[in-house]
Amino acid sequence: MLPKAAFDPILTARLLGERLPRRIPVAVRVSVRARGIVLRLLPGRGLEVVAPEGVGPAHLIQAVEARLDWIAAACDRLAAEGELPGSGATPPRPSQLVMTAFSRQWRISYLDKDRPGCAATVRGPDALVLSGDVDDAVAVSAALHEFCRNRGGELLRAALAEVSRTSGLSYSGVTIRAQRTRWGSCTAKGRINLNFSLIFLPWELCRLVLLHELCHTVELNHSARFWALLERHAPGCQKLDARLNSARHYLPLWLEQGVTAFPP
């Protein structure tokens, strides 16, 4: 039976944890900006549940139970890349790199060399070699980060140009960044900034971000006119946009380590 006392995030987190398919840490926080209940499975940290003000434990439990299949699948994905959060173990080095948005994949092998840092070198169409101090998780993460920002940036630039051509929405330039809190942004002069980690999202979410920023070249706000414009180019855009709130579970585990950490 649910407690009738005032909302207690710690007790609520324990109740939610009892319903999960795996034992992982759970954190609950209340946000005055939240428009709905958001679930995030964060590598190295566990499940975060963000609740709007006034939402009680019963509604949070319903939200978690409704997404148990998603939670189980996300946990399996993290387990395949490394130990789930809370185990205290060091995750193993990744064996593959997948840029989901563009259906690109590389097998990763490691070459230990007596030098600081790591470097990534492409060997053939689907092989990537990391050489250097390959036992240093931060160095491995930094090398993969640089490779993905460069190679993924090329793919994102080409994709933005194509989406611009087919939508008729123009832009003045594009910059690829490692933004910590945004998938993308647009300046008043029509220059678009894209987070390189978009390459790890499903294409429909990546494309939505591209269109979202292109629409900002016409409507530099989130007014009704902006959403109407985006809806014309991406029907059902608001449902897709809601999926972006919890899309960080698509990011690979190594991206959350060391210098490449992305805070929630």
Residue 86, in any domain of the structure: no
Q: Is residue 90 part of a domain?
A: no
192 and 230 fall within a common domain: yes
Strand residue runs (E) in the chain: 26-31, 38-42, 46-52, 96-99, 104-112, 118-122, 127-132, 173-177, 184-186, 191-195
Average pLDDT in the 152-181 region? 94
- The pLDDT of residue 88 is 43
Tell me, yes or no, whether 115 and 73 share the same domain.
no
Do 71 and 102 reside in the same domain of the chain? Answer: no
Domain boundary among 54, 81, 108: 81
pLDDT of residue 211: 98
Q: 4 lies in a domain?
A: no
Domain count, the chain: 2
Residue 223 lies in a domain: yes
Find the length of the chain.
Answer: 264
- 168 in any annotated domain: yes
Q: Give the per-residue pLDDT at 67.
A: 87
- Global pTM reads 0.66
How many other C-beta atoms can be found within 10 angstroms of the C-beta atom of residue 250?
A: 19
Last residue of a domain, one of 81, 115, 132: 81
d(CA 246, CA 216): 22
Cβ pair 153, 177 in contact under 8 A = no
Q: List the domain range (segments joined by +) for residue 55.
A: 9-81
CA distances from 125 to 84, 106, 120, 149 (A): 31, 8, 14, 18
- Work out the pLDDT band at 255, boundaries 50, 70, 90: confident
Same domain? For 103 and 169 the reply is: yes
**Is the pLDDT assigned to residue 4 strictly greater than 70?**
no
pLDDT, tens digit (0-9, with 9 covering 90-100), for 207-243: 999 999 999 999 999 999 999 999 999 999 988 888 8
Structural domain includes residue 87: no
Structure confidence at residue 20 (pLDDT): 85
Continuous segment of H or E residues that includes residue 149: helix 137-167
Domain match, 111 and 224 both:
yes
Same domain, 31 and 114: no
Residue 89 included in any domain? no
Domain end position, chosen among 56, 81, 106: 81
Looking at every residue in the chain, the average pLDDT score rounds to 84
Q: Is position 91 within any domain?
A: no
Both 43 and 119 in a single domain? Answer: no
Considering the domain architecture, whether residues 145 and 244 belong to the same structural domain is answered as yes
**Comparison of pLDDT for 258 and 200, the residue scoring more:** 200
Does 102 share its domain with 210?
yes
Query: For residue 264, what pLDDT is reported?
Result: 27
